[in-house]
Amino acid sequence: MSTPSITEEVRTALAENRPVVALESTILSHGLPPGRNREVAARLERVVRDAGAVPATVAVLGGVAKVGLTDAELDHVCDPANALVKLSRRDLGAAFALGLDGATTVASTSALAHAAGVGVFATGGLGGVHRGARETWDVSADLDVLATTPVLVVCSGVKSILDIGATLELLETRSVPVLGFGTSSFPAFYRRSSGFDVPWRVETAAQAAAVVAAHRGSVPGTSGVLLANPIPVEFEMDLDLHDRLLAEGLAATRDVHGKDVTPALLEHFHTASGGVSIDANEALVLSNALLASQVAVELCG
Ligand code: PSU
Ligand code: MN
């Protein structure tokens, strides 16, 4: 892969071994409503800076992979009039060659961050194995990229719209270590616990950083690490509301396929919850950006 276009600020930080945190753009273009997405983009960058790291939001603009976006570029990514396409890792070559504007998922953000030399990445929810994957084969490329790309991904687990047990099994098969942050249960995005255990639990950012450093330094292979951080308690979604939205969302998107599935489900949650899910989504992604920054700081220490 040709080297992405890296902003001066990010390039300098990397050269000086200062902490950098990658952020994805699909959550902005396809995961949050217009207006709110731009506010969240700004808050995410602020959280990272306040924690002593440099934010590097990733997107493809005019066929060029960007690691670090200017304010004007963030405006562009967040404006629905620009209709950014959702780009997973396999779509990057097409986007480059055709000169497209696109938003990057966990898979493509991880790949581009790694290519730029950024090893820590914060997001909301990871893609995973969809319910019914036995028939549809719908398994997010996020899992495959995490298995082959040495980045730390900090997220709030995966949504219960997915088959969480199968997702965790696949992460085990593909040798991706999963750490629970202050929890022994894998989080389920809007809910703090999925009921499935995590293999490892860490209590502090320093501990998480020590695991990442040991994994990178002394374990053969090239997989990433998943650090699963539960949604802040005060934003955890009420269980009944959650279960209702989930049942309705799965029914409403039965005929949606491919890369449209995840955005359609998110849209349903946001509309049907009257915005509760948007507040939850923002709270957890900000919390993940903070934790990722703290780990990035430790890794540079
Ligand atoms: N899960 C969420 N919010 C999101 C996504 C997933 O709760 O915004 C986005 C991420 O960018 C993730 C992508 O990488 O969806 C996964 O899409 P798919 O299932 O099509 O691989
Ligand atoms: Mn899919």
Identify the CA nearest to 229 among candidates 198, 256, 260. 198
**Least confident stretch, 10-14, 47-51, 96-100, 252-256:** 252-256
Q: Of 45, 159, 259, 298, which one is the catalytic site residue?
A: 159
Neighbours of 268 (CB within 10 A): 21
CA separation, residue 279 to residues 37, 236, 283, 285 (Å): 11, 10, 6, 10
Cα(217) to centroid of ligand 2, in Å? 32
In contact, 293 and 53? CB cutoff 8 Å = yes
Statement: residue 35 has pLDDT above 80: yes
Mutate to test the pocket of ligand 1, among 23, 25, 26 (most ligand atoms within 8 A of CB): 26
Average pLDDT over residues 241-261: 91
Give me the mean pLDDT over the 194-198 stretch: 98
Neighbours of 16 (CB within 10 A): 8
Burial classification of residue 186, based on how many CB atoms lie within 10 Å of its CB (0-12 exposed, 13-18 middle, 19 or more buried): buried
How many angstroms separate the Cα of 61 from the Cα of each of 7, 41, 100, 129, 222?
13, 17, 6, 29, 28
Ligand of minimum distance to the alpha carbon of 31: 1
Does the pLDDT at position 39 exceed 80? Answer: yes
What value does the mean pLDDT take over residues 108-125?
98
| Mean of the per-residue pLDDT values of the chain | 96
CB atoms within 10 A of CB 12: 12
State yes or no: pLDDT of 1 exceeds 70.
Answer: no
Nearest CA to ligand 1 atom 8: 27
Structure tokens at 189: 């995005």
105 C-alpha vs ligand 1 centroid, how far in Å? 6
Residue minimizing CA distance to atom 17 of ligand 1: 127
- Expressed in angstroms and rounded, the spacing between residue 125 Cα and the centre of ligand 1 is 6
- Ligand 1 atom with the smallest distance to the CA of 261 is 20
Q: Of the given ranges (108-112, 225-229, 272-276), which has the lowest mean pLDDT?
A: 272-276
Using 50, 70 and 90 to split pLDDT, how confident is the model at 266? confident
What residues contact residue 243 under an 8 Å CB cut-off, 6+ apart? Answer: none
Residue 264 CA: which ligand is closest?
Answer: 1
Q: Binding site for Mn(2+): which residues?
A: 138
- Active site annotation includes 259: no
Q: What is the pLDDT of residue 2?
A: 64
Q: Which fold has domain 5-300?
A: Indigoidine synthase fold (3.40.1790)
**Structure-token match 């489900």, residue found:** 265
pLDDT at res. 261? 86
The complex's ipTM? 0.97
What is the predicted pLDDT for the residue at 262?
Answer: 85
List the single range of 92-96, 106-110, 152-156, 266-270 with lowest mean pLDDT.
Answer: 266-270
Q: Where are the domains of the chain?
A: 5-300
Ligand 1 proximal residues by C-beta, below 6 Å: 24, 26-27, 31, 88, 105-107, 124-125, 127, 140-142, 159, 189, 259, 262, 266
Contact 142, 87 (CB under 8 A): no
User: Which is the closest atom of ligand 1 to the Cα of 103?
Assistant: 11
Active site residue 66: no
What's the residue count for the chain?
A: 301
Q: What is the pTM of this model?
A: 0.97
If you measure from the C-alpha of residue 188 to the centroid of ligand 1, how many angstroms do you get, rounded to a whole number? 14
Residue nearest to atom 18 of ligand 1 (CA): 140
Binding residues: 86, 106, 138, 140-142
Among the atoms of ligand 1, which is closest to the Cα of residue 107?
14
Give the ligand 1 atom nearest the CA of 130. Answer: 19
3-state secondary structure the chain: CCCCEECHHHHHHHHCCCCEEEECCHHHHHHCCCCHHHHHHHHHHHHHHHCCCEEEEEEEECCEEEECCCHHHHHHHHCHHHCCEEECHHHHHHHHHHCCCEEECHHHHHHHHHHHCCCEEECCCCCCEECCHHHHCCECHHHHHHHHCCCEEEECECCCCECHHHHHHHHHHCCCCEEEECCCECCECCECCCCCECCEEECCHHHHHHHHHHHHHHCCCCCCEEEECCCCHHHCCCHHHHHHHHHHHHHHCCCCCHHHHHHHHHHHHHHHCCCHHHHHHHHHHHHHHHHHHHHHHHHHC
Nearest CA owner, ligand 1 atom 1:
125
